[in-house]
Amino acid sequence: MASKIKVRPMKEKDLKKLAEIYVQAYKIYSKWENWNSKTAYKLLMHYLKRQPDLAFVAEYNNEVAGAFVAGIKPWWDGNHLVEGELVVDPGYQKKGVGKLLLKSLLEKAVKKYNVTVWEATTFKKTKFPLSWYRKLGFREVKEWTIIGGDVRKALKKVT
């Protein structure tokens, strides 16, 4: 199956289709995030403009099947690959699309930026995709947690 998959640099013209894929995938795997085509497009455009050389698209039989985007952050132990978004059309999952996207991104990040670590965030409430990442050798960082909250409420508490 992998021979039917081609990975190439992302182009702006890919974003409309990728935004649709993003919305489809999140409806299945994240019931608590409400993406639409406009917000997904905006996010993907952000990544493409920020780090265009680390934005990849996978085509399966010449159809856009998914994408992987990320950025570089210098850190004390070397460059880290951060804030990545991997999305594969649900109809193309389990065909090697995600693995080839990951491979392309990691190879480029190591070769061009000498990346030492990949920092990623994924869902805890669902088995997938965490199980997929674990199968590839990635592990949860027990010492870290993600924080977040309403910025307006925080501003009221610091003023």
Whole-number Å distance between alpha carbons of 120 and 138: 9
Residue 100: predicted pLDDT: 95
Domain layout of the chain by residue ranges: 2-121
Question: Taking the CB of residue 69, how many other CB atoms lie within 10 A of it?
Answer: 25
Contact 60/101 with Cβ under 8 angstroms?
no
Residue 3: predicted pLDDT: 64
What 3-state class would DSSP assign to 6?
strand
Its pTM stands at: 0.84
Which parts of the chain have pLDDT scores under 70? 1-3
Contact 73/79 with Cβ under 8 angstroms?
yes
* H helix or E strand, kind and range, residue 42: helix 37-50
Residues contacting 73, CB < 8 A, separation 6+: 79, 80, 82, 119
Residue 29: predicted pLDDT: 77
State in words which class domain 2-121 has.
Answer: alpha beta
Residue 2: predicted pLDDT: 53
Using the CB atoms, write b or e for 92-118: b if 16+ within 10 Å.
Answer: bbebbbbebbbbbbbebbeeebebeeb
Distance of CA 99 to the CA centre of its chain: 12
